[in-house]
Amino acid sequence: MAEIKETTEAAERLKIFRKAEKMGQEEFGKSLGLDHSVISRYENNRLNIPIDFVKKLHEVFNISFEWFYTGKGNRKHTPEKASLIKDIKTLETNQQILSQQVESLKAELLKLHRDFHAFKANVK
């Protein structure tokens, strides 16, 4: 049985974004090449939202990575005729977000590794 998790901010923002696009789960999923049930599971946090999915959201709907992961800024990425410094700051923010996700995943992986070995030791 799938583990039910508390709603995450990313799951909530996905739903907010979809509704702002005035799309139902079925239409939204089709736009991304997914079944509506997958969208539902992402929005209800029954499935973790993979980075590849967020990248696809950006490619198809121009969603802002910063908004999706932090809730800051605009929902949609709007390329500006900005200076190189602003672009660098955006890249730094994206890099920080990804670094935090990598560290979080690393911690989860280490915990799973420890739990597996503890379980394995108890089984013998």
For 36-56, letters b (16+ CB in 10 Å) and e give: eebbebbbebebebeeebbeb
For the chain, give every domain's residue range: 1-77, 79-124
By C-alpha distance, which of 100, 63, 66, 62 is closest to 86? 66
Query: Has residue 2 got a pLDDT over 50?
Result: no
Beta carbons of 56 and 32 less than 8 angstroms apart: yes
Distance CA 57, CA 55 (A): 5
| Residues 86-99 pLDDT 10s | 777 888 888 999 99
Torsion of CA 58, 99, 45, 34, to 10 degrees: 30
Mean pLDDT, the chain, integer:
86
| Cut 0.95: pTM above it | no
Q: Could you confirm whether domain 1-77 is CATH 1.10.167.10?
A: no
